[in-house]
A and B are shown apart, each in its own frame.
Chain A
């Protein structure tokens, strides 16, 4: 093409090595993600699920997903081989997602907190109950309070 000044040329052997490496990386990361998914499942099934642990695993899966996205875009879509200005016109607008995700998720969370504070029916009908709930015993009168 006349408007393209120089072409990238990649040797067949080098190309095969890169594709194989990326394929293995993507597969391994996906396998790790599935492992974490199943770990979250077993934590949920347990008697006292630790919410902090589940949250940490979910954060880890998000980071692994970003790594996968990086490899797909950079190697499979060859964005990593383009010149810097081209990369920037794609990546810089995507920075909007940082605000986009944060603002909307914080908004949703705030709506939940407001409803839990001011809408008792919402809170009582939707709040998760423990899996093997004992029938709630009538509260014993505490000696100190009377």
Chain B
């Protein structure tokens, strides 16, 4: 009796055979990923629609040109290429984990899953640095005829068009002394900000190195919201992927899959992880390359 009961339970597809020659859970994972692809697609297409409705859009090489530990050196695309390679490599280690599962090699699965988790955490760390840098890194921006120091948020960003020299000189005249003091401090790192803040405006204006100053207008408002929204949604997928992989690692260690006799669950986690890599390929294209 017990035997017939279990036999009936495994008949998920009537007839007991999968028309796709795939396990039920894996087919459903594919359909979930397809719907997720439409979610990401809708976000990216909405970004594209707004971008096509604007005459001006920030150049990604101007926005993403920083690298940890190099200060203000102009390194366009360098950091994001590191992030991309991290994700590609973690995708490869996931393939190796799935393959080890096919061979029933418990230690292999654990080793490669651990590397995949390391890759995922490294990617999240990079993204945290990038967000932090964009939000807190302030740039001189022309707003309402005067200069202000702003970072990139969902409300405003400093990535508009370059302001020409004479317009910048006019704006300096209208800029309050405390902003000028901060700009001078930014140009001369050995200066003391507290001392500068005491100086009169005219003296500060004279200390500015105007030849080296690049002032931009405010960029399109939508830029910040789309960037943080879409990379944040992707980052959340990476985060949940790391959590899933950690659970898989613990289950493997506790012999759950060994006792079941198969490692199909690792394949499903693998599909999700590769999908995260796949989405990044398109996010990388839409935000950083074109």
- The chain B residue sitting closest to A64, CB to CB, is B285
Q: Is A53 an interface residue (CB 8 A)?
A: no
Contacts known (A37-B61, A128-B161, A133-B164); A77 close to B85, Cβ less than 8 A: no
Question: Contact: B56 with A65, CB < 8 Å?
Answer: no
Residues of chain A touching chain B, judged by Cβ–Cβ distance below 8 Å, are 1-6, 10, 12, 15, 19, 23, 26-27, 30, 33-34, 36-38, 40-41, 44, 58, 61-62, 65, 68-69, 72-73, 76-77, 79, 82-83, 85-86, 89-90, 93-94, 96-97, 100-101, 104-105, 107-109, 111-112, 115-116, 122-123, 126-129, 131, 133, 135
On chain B, the residues within 8 Å of A77 by CB distance are 270-271, 274-275, 278
Residue tally, chain B, CB below 8 Å to A: 69
Q: Choose among B13, B42, B77, B88 the residue that contacts A37 (Cβ–Cβ < 8 A).
A: B77
Residues of chain B touching chain A, judged by Cβ–Cβ distance below 8 Å, are 10-13, 16-24, 27, 30-31, 34, 37-38, 41-42, 45-46, 48-56, 59-61, 76-77, 81, 84-85, 88-89, 91-92, 94-96, 99, 102-103, 161-162, 164, 166, 262, 264, 270-271, 274-275, 277-278, 281-282, 284-285, 288-290
Q: A44-B61, A77-B270, A104-B49 are in contact. List 4 more A-B contacts (CB 8 A).
A: A37-B61, A44-B59, A86-B22, A129-B164
Complex Cα–Cα for A126 and B51 (A):
13
On chain A, the residues within 8 Å of B27 by CB distance are 86
Question: Contact: B164 with A126, CB < 8 Å?
Answer: no
List 11 A–B pairs whose Cβ atoms lie within 8 Å, in order of A's numbering.
A5-B21, A19-B92, A33-B285, A44-B59, A72-B274, A72-B277, A76-B92, A90-B34, A104-B48, A105-B49, A112-B53
Contacts known (A108-B53, A127-B55); A101 close to B48, Cβ less than 8 A: yes
On chain B, the residues within 8 Å of A116 by CB distance are 55
- The chain A residue sitting closest to B24, CB to CB, is A3
Complex Cα–Cα for A43 and B42 (A):
31
Question: Contact: A86 with B20, CB < 8 Å?
Answer: yes
Question: Contact: B17 with A38, CB < 8 Å?
Answer: no
Question: Contact: B88 with A73, CB < 8 Å?
Answer: no
- The chain B residue sitting closest to A76, CB to CB, is B274
Chain B nearest CB, measured from A7 CB (Å): 9
